[in-house]
Amino acid sequence: MITKKIRLIFALITLVALSFLVRNLYISYSFNNNPISKEDKKEIIREEQRVLKNMQKNLGFEYKVPIIITDKIPGKIYGFTSLDDDGNIKIYLNKKIMRESMDYILSNVIAHEYAHALLFKSGDYKIDKDGHSLLWQNTCVKLGGKKCQKYVDSHDVIMGKLPF
Ligand SMILES: [Zn+2]
């Protein structure tokens, strides 16, 4: 009688654990296989609009850069800005860390990368290999970025071929 009860309890525990596992698997599966949610997309567009508005206000022009959300970025970086051999400028955001870092991406990363994009556009990126020159900092501030100090361990400007 007791063993039957224990067996039942074990079966229940296993069932509960399994259902959690399945649920977690499902969440990470659906996140990795679907585009980001409408809500997240809206938030990114809203922040981009804010940056573009600041650009118009503080720099006198508006220059829109394609923002590409991808899960192919290796490692934990939030995103980067690229300039290819044909002179195309694009901003890439890391989808893999979006779930945990969406707030940070919205409040810091988009203005940060847009500042890189503008320096690529004007050709002023050449004065500083790493990309975070004083001019970049000023541009970032003018775009309404909140964290525009030099990023010590971030290599988020890519010239030429992408690593993926
Ligand atoms: Zn940067």
Residue 164 lies in a domain: no
Residue 143 lies in a domain: yes
Residue 27 lies in a domain: yes
Beta-carbon neighbours within 5 Å of ion ligand 1? 156
Please give the pLDDT value at position 65.
97
Same domain for 92 and 13: no
R_g over Cα of the chain: 22
Q: Tell me, in angstroms, the distance from the centre of ligand 1 to residue 25's CA.
A: 33
Residue 75 lies in a domain: yes
Q: Which residues contact 99 (CB under 8 A, 6 or more apart)?
A: 31
Please give the pLDDT value at position 140.
95
Please give the pLDDT value at position 67.
96
End-to-end CA distance of the chain: 61
Please give the pLDDT value at position 127.
64
Q: Tell me, in angstroms, the distance from the centre of ligand 1 to residue 43's CA.
A: 21
Residues 21-66 have pLDDT tens digits of 877 776 666 656 667 888 999 999 999 999 999 999 999 999 999 9
Domain with 133, as residue range(s), is 38-159
Q: Tell me, in angstroms, the distance from the centre of ligand 1 to residue 118's CA.
A: 12
CB-based contact 66:90 (threshold 8 Å): yes
Please give the pLDDT value at position 74.
83
Residues 108-160 have pLDDT tens digits of 999 999 999 999 999 988 766 678 888 999 999 999 998 888 665 567 888 88
Q: CATH number, domain at 109?
A: 3.30.2010
Residue 85 lies in a domain: yes
Please give the pLDDT value at position 109.
93
Beta strands in 98-162 (DSSP E): 157-159
Q: Tell me, in angstroms, the distance from the centre of ligand 1 to residue 151's CA.
A: 6
Residues 6-18 have pLDDT tens digits of 888 888 888 888 8
Please give the pLDDT value at position 30.
60
Q: Tell me, in angstroms, the distance from the centre of ligand 1 to residue 3's CA.
A: 62
Q: Tell me, in angstroms, the distance from the centre of ligand 1 to residue 57's CA.
A: 22
Separation between Cα atoms, residue 120 and residue 63, nearest integer Å:
12
